[in-house]
Chains A and B, each alone.
Chain A
Amino acid sequence: MSQPVLEIRNLNVDYGLGDKAVHAVRDVSLTLHRGEVLGLAGESGSGKSTLAYGLTRLLPPPGVITGGQVIYHPEGGQPYDVLALTDRKLRQFRWAETAIVFQGAMNSLNPVHKISTQLTDVLRAHEPKMSEHTRGARAREMLKLVGISPDRMDAYPHQLSGGMRQRVMIGMALILQPQVVIMDEPTTALDVVMQRQILGQLIELRERLGFSVIFITHDLSLLVEFSNRIAIMYGGRIVEEAPAATIYRDALHPYSAGLLASFPALRGPKRELAGIPGSPPDLAGMPSGCSFHPRCPKAFDPCPTTIPVLGPPADLNSAGRSVACWLHPALEIS
């Protein structure tokens, strides 16, 4: 496997302080490798966005990072902890190394500035020496890259369609050629045709530019198609992580399996859909033990009491996958 570019270690994120805190992300460790698309799935409220924003300390109050590290490996440099950076350093780090494409593009663009301003703003902040002219040229270039004619430079966000706005955001994310691009449900607001267009484009760009992507969605079938590896989140934890095809064929965690069985297939034989019984957990009153156990059809003794650790399953010999489930207890790493 190729080199890691971003390592998340034991990240914990709370909303609020003290007893009332909601533990939205618990003890998450995850590694993103250079050039790969890492899919992050899980139902609503499982902490996907929180994890993504937590990486670069962008959570709004009352979000607090209560522990963990985010180690960034710059190309040919010494790795460092993003969470430990000073404000100034962090500002420099942002966008230049990791860029984020948010869920709603309309809300991500400042409605009162032209998109050219918003594009060049980044350059002005990160490459102050660049000339006005070069900046403009670069912004135009990016727009062309994402398939928007450069003469739309002077348009305001509201003058663009949803798809175009989302493309502008993607272009903006790539303008500094970052190593990591985080995409939080970049296409949920769009319809399928547009979604496919944009994702197709993104994959192509990734091949050309070589950045890594963390791709968040709850549409598992989309993820399976588009990502290299998939991590499934439930109740603030990662419950399974494996290459996309592996998960699709053979999900180990009952939750992942249930998730996959919830999507009707368009092609192939009509299969019976099982779904997952029960409703998502409340983060404030998380069940003890494996948080999925109240809904799990296969729950047994240890599930309600002990939290399973995420690790390569001991009973199977499939490389590059890990799961947190007592059905497949983790290999003891000693």
Chain B
Amino acid sequence: MTIPTSSIEQVIPGQGSMAQPEEAHPSKRKRQRFTFIRNKKAAVGLTIFGLYVLFAIIGPWIAPYDPSARGNDLVQPPSADHWLGTTHLGQDVFSQILVGTRSVMYVGLLAGTIATVLSILIGVTAGYLGGKTDDVLSAFANVILVIPAVPLMIIITSILNNASDTLIALVIGLTSWSWNARVLRAQTLSLGRRDYVEASRATGEKTWRIIGFELLPNLTAVIASGFVGTVIFAVLSEITLAFIGIVSNNGWNWGTILFWAQGQQALAQNAWWWFVPAGLAIAFLGTALSLINFGIDEFVSPRLRSAGKTKVKTASGRTVRMRIGFTPVLSSKGGEPS
């Protein structure tokens, strides 16, 4: 019998992906590539995300002020000069948020990339090779998983001398791959048993080629969803770290803004403009990423797709919902019972 994936190997909700992609009906694959973008949630998510990327790129150029420059209006509410008000040093909050976008996106994406690459290396290798390699690698992943991530990050960042954005991303990336590695491992295990993998082995393909050309392309959706999940996690981690005071030099990110705001008790000073926007910026970024992830999940698991309309009009003019167990009957023309 097969032991059901036990607890630790299971996918935690909210984190990573719930994707358990049974192979989508093969004849629909091609079309699905575009369906993903056509998915409304994913589209909204991608749009918002795109905006953030744009600001990450042009933010520092379009920012009206130098985010660190002191001004004479201290803790002023939003005004025409300062759209989101000022800090206790007279710095422009709006500029800080604009400029901070880059660091957040950079760390999020870089950490996501690092974690994803690691999780692929470890998860896929473990899943495909099996045996001792698998035991060692999955034990390693489990250990990393068991150690709480945020404290670990705090410790590691304090080992490092000078925390640059890249280093912080590295630390986050290095501590947060294990979840995806597990998901990928499980996924690879099930893929590895598929005939086409076995078939390419029988054809005589080399192991690295099987992993790289046969397995990986089929894992893209899972990887993508894991990547998006990690980016969310990385962004939240960076902000958390910044909030408790672990930041990179001169770097502005939304966590730094919140750090200063909280250090200066912005809310107690009624300076909501200092505290609220950065949090909202995070929340919208997170929401955008989650939306993208829903899109991927639904793409991977067609069952989750809310197939367009779910409401149908019946012959009698009633609207019925499509539901399992009671197929809607639209009209019943036909002969009379005899």
Contacts and interface: CB of A to CB of B under 8 A. Distances in A.
Q: Direct contact between A and B in the complex (CB less than 8 angstroms)?
A: yes
Interface of A: 7, 9-10, 16-17, 53-54, 57-69, 71, 79-81, 83-84, 87, 90, 158
B323 A68 contact: no
Given A17-B308, A61-B307, A64-B312, A87 B333 contact: no
A64 B331 contact: no
B326 interface: yes
Given A57-B329, A64-B322, A90-B326, A17 B309 contact: yes
Interface in B306-338: 307-310, 312, 322-335, 337-338
Nearest to A8: B334
A57 B333 CA distance: 16
16 contacts: A7-B337, A9-B334, A10-B334, A57-B325, A60-B327, A62-B307, A62-B322, A64-B322, A64-B327, A66-B330, A66-B331, A67-B334, A81-B332, A83-B329, A83-B332, A87-B326
A61 B331 CA distance: 17
Contacts of B268: none
A61 B324 contact: yes
A63 B326 contact: no
B334 A64 contact: no
A67 B330 contact: yes
A83 B312 CA distance: 16
B248 to A, nearest CB: 50
A79 B337 contact: yes
B1 interface: yes
Nearest to B321: A61
B125 to A, nearest CB: 32
Q: For the complex, would chain B's binding face be called helix, strand, loop or mixed by DSSP majority?
A: loop
Nearest to B311: A17
A320 B312 CA distance: 39
Contacts of B323: 61
Q: For the complex, would chain A's binding face be called helix, strand, loop or mixed by DSSP majority?
A: mixed
Q: Which 6 A-B pairs have the closest CB atoms?
A: A61-B322, A9-B334, A69-B334, A59-B327, A57-B327, A65-B329
Contacts of A158: 1
A84 B324 CA distance: 17
Contacts of B327: 53-54, 57-60, 63-65
A58 B335 CA distance: 23
A87 B325 CA distance: 10
Given A17-B308, A17-B312, A68 B324 contact: no
Given A10-B335, A17-B308, A66-B331, 7 more contacts: A64-B322, A65-B327, A65-B330, A69-B335, A69-B337, A83-B329, A87-B326
Given A17-B312, A158-B1, A57 B326 contact: yes
Nearest to A11: B334
Contacts of A16: 307
A62 B323 CA distance: 9
Interface of B: 1, 307-310, 312, 322-335, 337-338
Contacts of A81: 332, 337
B331 A67 contact: yes
Nearest to A20: B308
B307 A58 contact: no
Contact of A68 (B1, B308, B322, B334): B334
Contacts of A79: 337-338
A58 B325 contact: yes
Contacts of A17: 308-309, 312
Nearest to A90: B326
A68 B327 CA distance: 13
B170 to A, nearest CB: 44
B48 to A, nearest CB: 29
Contacts of B329: 57, 64-65, 83-84
Residue among B309, B326, B334 with max Cβ neighbours from chain A (10 Å): B334
B140 to A, nearest CB: 32
Contacts of A67: 330-334
A71 B335 CA distance: 10
Nearest to A9: B334
A63 B331 CA distance: 14
Contacts of A63: 327
Nearest to A66: B330
A21 to B, nearest CB: 11
Contacts of B324: 60-61
A68 B323 CA distance: 20
Given A58-B325, A71-B337, A80-B337, A64 B310 contact: no
Contacts of A62: 307, 322
Nearest to A73: B337
B283 to A, nearest CB: 33
B12 to A, nearest CB: 22
B332 A61 contact: no
A54 B308 CA distance: 21
A2 to B, nearest CB: 16
Contacts of A80: 337
Contacts of A61: 307, 310, 322-324
A16 B335 CA distance: 25
Nearest to A13: B327
Contacts of A90: 326
B147 to A, nearest CB: 34
A53 B328 CA distance: 12
B337 A68 contact: no
A65 B328 contact: yes
A20 to B, nearest CB: 9
A299 B87 CA distance: 84
Contacts of A66: 330-331
A253 B328 CA distance: 33
Contacts of A65: 327-330
Nearest to B303: A60
Residue among B307, B308, B322, B332 with max Cβ neighbours from chain A (10 Å): B332
Nearest to A60: B324
Contacts of B328: 64-65
A285 B135 CA distance: 50
Contacts of B338: 79
